[in-house]
């Protein structure tokens, strides 16, 4: 029997070596975590009541269509015209105090595998929609520290960058881990490799989804899958793909959640 030392995820039979890695990703570890995730999926509908709504609708980008009755759709125009500018980014300053509200969560990363997506939000009214931020996880850059820069996204004034887990834990009151069950390990590796080529490209909230020169946070994971495998994780096919659009997508499942 072939014994692979120092790796709890590896197994073998018939003395035939198995392929251990694909582009730096341990296959047995990936499969082990994927099986764990399948046992811990959340119902997305259970979270809808927690999201900020406008006229009874969760704020996402696709406008109402003729005869459309889905209560989770609202136009970005309707969202913007009702904005309270003091709360656009989820932080409201009291007239009596300039102290900033601190948000935190403790989302674990023990089940995250390459290509998984983190989305996060905090209390308040956000121009980004019901969820404020999104990134895609590159396990090859994660070495066990919350300060490892392993989450690929885009930020104003910085463009496409890698961020740390610490950033997501210390700036948002809620965070979710999403996976794309249909995507193979090869497609997930390719997804990361496709969008990592755009690190350093500028940020623009106005960017078309198919514009490779300008980016925003949730466009990064969307483009990763669209370019690598054709999987469209935009839940409504609007001009923008907002973090909430990725959350409601039929192509994603929630496997992790934290609000503390």
pLDDT tens digits for range 238-260: 888 999 999 999 999 999 999 98
- Write down the pLDDT at residue 103: 81
Sign of CA dihedral 48, 127, 234, 62: positive
Reported as type and span, the H/E element at residue 189 is helix 185-196
Q: With the CA atoms of 110, 116, 122 and 127 taken in that order, what torsion angle do they form, in degrees rounded to the nearest 10?
A: 170
- Write down the pLDDT at residue 169: 96
- Write down the pLDDT at residue 205: 83
Residue 56, number of CB atoms within 10 A of its CB:
8
**Domain assignments of the chain as residue spans, ordered by start:** 23-64+111-259
Residue 82 in this model has a pLDDT that exceeds 80: no
pLDDT band at 31 (very low <50, low <70, confident <90, very high): very high
Strand ranges for 44-198 from DSSP E: 53-54, 57-58, 117-121, 133-137, 149-155, 159-164, 174-179
Q: With the CA atoms of 116, 62, 50 and 36 taken in that order, what torsion angle do they form, in degrees rounded to the nearest 10?
A: -20
For residues 97 and 132, the model is more confident at 132
Residue 149, number of CB atoms within 10 A of its CB:
16
Report which of 144, 185, 188 is spatially closest to residue 165, judged by C-alpha positions: 144
Specify which residues 162 forms β-bridges with. Answer: 152
Q: Can you give the pTM of this predicted structure?
A: 0.80
Tokens found for residue 150 = 């392993």
Tokens found for residue 118 = 């983190």
The owner of tokens 């300060």 is: 147
Q: Please state, rounded to an integer, the average pLDDT across all residues of the chain.
A: 81
Report which of 220, 246, 210 is spatially closest to residue 154, judged by C-alpha positions: 220
- Write down the pLDDT at residue 102: 74
φ, ψ at 50 (rounded to 5°)? -85, -15
**Highest-confidence range of 16-25, 27-36, 121-130, by mean pLDDT?**
27-36
Alpha-carbon span 153 to 222, nearest angstrom: 11
Topology of the domain comprising 23-64+111-259: endopeptidase fold (from Nostoc punctiforme) (3.90.1720)
Residue 53 Cα distances to 70, 88, 133, angstroms: 14, 14, 17
pLDDT band at 187 (very low <50, low <70, confident <90, very high): very high
- Write down the pLDDT at residue 142: 97
pLDDT band at 71 (very low <50, low <70, confident <90, very high): very low
* Helix (H/G/I), strand (E/B), else coil: 181: coil
What's the length of the chain? 260
Q: Strands 117-121, 174-179: parallel, antiparallel or unpaired by DSSP?
A: antiparallel
The owner of tokens 């999987």 is: 231
**Cα distance from N-terminal residue to C-terminal residue, the chain:** 46
């Amino acid at each position: 029997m072939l014994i692979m030392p120092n790796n709890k995820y590896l197994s073998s039979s018939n003395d035939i070596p198995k392929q251990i890695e694909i582009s730096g990703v341990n296959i047995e570890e990936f499969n082990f975590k994927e099986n764990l995730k399948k046992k811990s999926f959340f119902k997305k509908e259970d979270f809808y009541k927690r999201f900020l709504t406008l006229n009874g609708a969760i704020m996402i980008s696709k406008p109402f269509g003729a005869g459309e009755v889905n209560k989770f759709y609202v136009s970005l125009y309707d969202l913007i015209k009702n904005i309270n500018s003091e709360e656009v980014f989820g932080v409201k300053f009291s007239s009596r105090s300039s102290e900033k509200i601190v948000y935190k969560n403790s989302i674990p990363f023990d089940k995250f595998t390459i290509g998984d997506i983190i989305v996060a939000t905090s209390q308040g009214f956000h121009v980004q929609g019901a969820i404020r931020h999104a990134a895609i996880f590159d396990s090859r850059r994660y070495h066990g520290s919350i300060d490892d820069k392993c989450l690929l996204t885009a930020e104003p004034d910085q463009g496409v960058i890698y961020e740390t887990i610490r950033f997501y834990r210390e700036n948002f009151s809620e965070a979710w881990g999403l996976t794309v069950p249909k995507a193979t390990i090869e497609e997930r590796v390719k997804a990361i490799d496709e969008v990592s080529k755009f690190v350093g490209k500028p940020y623009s909230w106005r960017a078309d989804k198919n514009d490779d020169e300008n980016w925003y946070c949730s466009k990064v994971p969307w483009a990763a899958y669209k370019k690598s495998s054709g999987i469209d994780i935009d839940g409504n096919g609007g001009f923008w793909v907002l973090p909430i659009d990725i959350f409601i997508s039929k192509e994603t499942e929630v496997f992790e959640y934290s609000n503390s």
